[in-house]
Structure formats: structure tokens, C-alpha cells
Structure 1
Amino acid sequence: MRNYLLPLALCGSLLLTLGCGGDAATTASAPPATDDTAVADAHDHPTEGPHHGTLVELGSDEYHVEVIHDATSVTAYILDHSAKKAVPIAAKEVTINLVHNGTPEQFKLIASPEATDPSGQSSRFVLADAELVEHLDDEASSPKLSVTIEGTPFTGKIELSHDHSGHAH
């Protein structure tokens, strides 16, 4: 009986020593868990576009759309992941879907290429429609922008700032 206890005790001791020692070394050398990544992402995430408009995130921050409007028209600019550089796309239109008085409505902003956009592509889309402007300013309308970029459909929620100090209606 004694012959069995000694090897068993040695194996048990070895497992405990290696198990505890390995975990302790790993735990001691591992950096403390922090949320610095989330803080850095929050600081790196743009808050407005190059035209000082509202940003709409598309996908997992793959693209952004900057939405600006005055009293009679709405313009959408397709931007890169950093929301700084224009991204011309082959689409002929982008769509804004919203709900007004319980009824779904759809508005199509038509391609209006910038002078620097390649032929057949546009990074700017425009619609002159005071009704759309009014609906975008209605917090209950829940507007969403839809666009297809390189064959991939994207949809993003438009959350306009309702501070009207910069423009009049």
C-alpha cells in the first residue's frame, strides 16, 4: 500500500506546484485590465464631418455619411472610416427612410458629384425638399440613411443635433 502512496503524493504535489506556480506567474506578469482602448476609441471617434454636419456611422465604422441641411435642401457626403476623406461611389442615389405621423416615407438624394470625383462616381448626394428638412428636424421621425457601397448595403441612423442656432427654419 505504501508503494502506491508515495508516487501519488509526488504527482499531486507536482501538479499543485506547477498549477499554482504557473497561474501565479501568468497573473503577476499580465498587465492590469483597463478600459484604455474604449477611452482611446471615444477620443478618436469623429463628432462632426468636414462640412460641420452630423455624422452617420455605416457598418462597423467602415464608412461615414455626413448629413447637412439648410431650410430647403439636404446634402449627404460619403466619407471614409475616419470621416475626413471623401469616398466617391458608383451609386446614383442614397435613400432616407423615416416615419412621419405614423406613415413611412422615403426620400432619394441624387448623386451630385464634386469636381474631384471620378467620372461615373459621386461622394455627394443632394435633394431640394423642404418637407424632408422638416421631417429630419422632427425628433420622432427616426430617419435612417441607406446606401450601397461596392455591392454592400449599409444603413445608419441619422441623429441630427436639434440645436438650431446655426440655421433658421
Structure 2
Amino acid sequence: MATPTTRTAIDASLMLLSIAGLLAGGIGCGGGDNLQEFDDAHIKPADPGAHDHHHHHHGEDHDAPHGGTLVALGEHQYHAEIAWDEKAKTITVYVLDGEAEKAVPIDAEEIVLAIGIGKDAETHKFTAKPQDNDADGKSSRFVTSDKALFDKFHDNESTSGQIDLPIGKKTFPVVVAHDDHDHDHDEKGDHKHDEKGEHKHDEKGEHPSPKKTDK
């Protein structure tokens, strides 16, 4: 038969075990939720592909292969590149893939640029000029040689239009506007060349040479 002292010790041990069990259960419940929030699926590094996709959609990681302006189409499915030839005064639209690297020929003899809305909109045609690797009957390049249209964009930054570009079974809107940065680059380039190139040549090139001749 257990003595009072032994019974007291047993009761104290049982109480301690009960408290420990309650604490373990509380930690298990609360800790379980926290562990679910910080398991491997949640703490692994972000998917680099998702990060790249975000930037690619805005064309930030792509270089225009023809020196024009890239326009992302759809959910990064394709790109349109708009190239301006300042000397020839032509506007060219290239159809490219999602990485803006490969040409995407489409089944169209021409595409139409609309400036304005509805019945009052001006329309201008870009004629297909297939590149060497384009399949027969398709083109990945469309060009207009309308100098008046070129000047309209070139001389007025607010001018913009839209081309509905048919690729496969879908049509993608392409907003066309002249990138004034390209124009400024040309002007600054020529201007700096004239002032800093030819002018310095006159002072340092032609002036010293007569002195050497006199000697």
C-alpha cells in the first residue's frame, strides 16, 4: 500500500506530465501552422524564369535586331519592331518571336496603319517585303515609303497610330509612334562631329601644317 509521501510524489509527477503534455500540444498546434508557412515550398528562391518573363514582357531584356523600337505583343508571345530610316524616310515593321530574335512570317500582303478613330481615321498601307528566309506567300517585313507619313511622325511627337497585326488566328494591336530619342541621337551626332571634329581639325590640323612647311 502506498504511503502518503509516495502518493504525493506520484500525484506531483502526474501533474508535471499533464502540464508537459498540454504544453507540447499547444506548441504542436501553433508550431504546426507556422511550419506550414515556412516550409521548402515557401522559402525557396523565386523562379528566375518568372522574373525574366516580367522584364521580357516590357522588352527590357531584348535588343531590337534592326535598331528600331520593340513593342511586346500579347503575353510575351511576339514582338513588333518599328524601324525608322532617317535618310530614306521609310518606316519598316518587322514581326519577331517572343525573344525578339527570329522572324515570324505572317500570311499578309500588306498591313494597315490607322491614325485617328472611326470614319475620320487616316489609313496608310505597309507593303510586304519578304526577307530571305520567309516562306513563300508570307512576310515578316512590311514597309512604307510614304515620305509625308514619315514627316508627320517625325515632326510631331504627338502623332500616333495603330496597326492591327494578324499573326496566326489572333490579331495584335501595335501602337506606332516616332521615338524622338533616335532623332535627337542623329542630330547630336552630326552636330558634335561638325563642331568638335571638323573645327578641331581646322585649328589643330591645317594651322600647324603651314608652320612645318615654312621650316
TM interval, shorter chain, is 0.7 to 0.9
Q: Which has the higher strand share?
A: 1
Hey, what does 2:106 align to over in structure 1? 89
Hey, what does 1:10 align to over in structure 2? none
Hey, what does 1:24 align to over in structure 2? 34
Q: TM-score, normalised by structure 1?
A: 0.74
**CA-atom RMSD in angstroms:** 3.2
1:145 aligns with 2:141: no
1:63 aligns with 2:78: yes
Matches within 5 A, 1:47-62: 47-62=62-77
Aligned-residue offset at 1:139: 2.3
Percent of counterpart pairs with the same letter? Answer: 31
Equivalent AA in structure 1 for residue 97 of structure 2: D
Q: 1:111 aligns with which of 105, 121, 128?
A: 128
Q: Give ranges in structure 2 of 5+ residues lacking alignment.
A: 1-23, 191-215
Which secondary structure state, in structure 2, belongs to the residue aligned with residue 23 of structure 1?
helix
Aligned-residue offset at 1:87: 0.8
Equivalent AA in structure 1 for residue 94 of structure 2: Y
Query: Structure 1 residues 135 and 79 mapped into 2: Cα distance closer, same or farther (>3 Å)?
Result: same
Once residues 70 and 134 of structure 1 are traced to their aligned partners in structure 2, the CA distance between those partners, rounded to angstroms, is: 11
Q: 2:55 aligns with which of 42, 55, 61?
A: 42
Hey, what does 1:155 align to over in structure 2? 173
Which secondary structure state, in structure 2, belongs to the residue aligned with residue 115 of structure 1?
coil
Q: TM-score, normalised by structure 2?
A: 0.60
Aligned-residue offset at 1:40: 6.8
Query: Structure 1 residues 141 and 79 mapped into 2: Cα distance closer, same or farther (>3 Å)?
Result: same
Query: Segments of 4+ in structure 1 off by > 3 A?
Result: 16-19, 32-41, 43-48
Deviations 1:62-82 (A, max 9, x none): 111111122421111110000
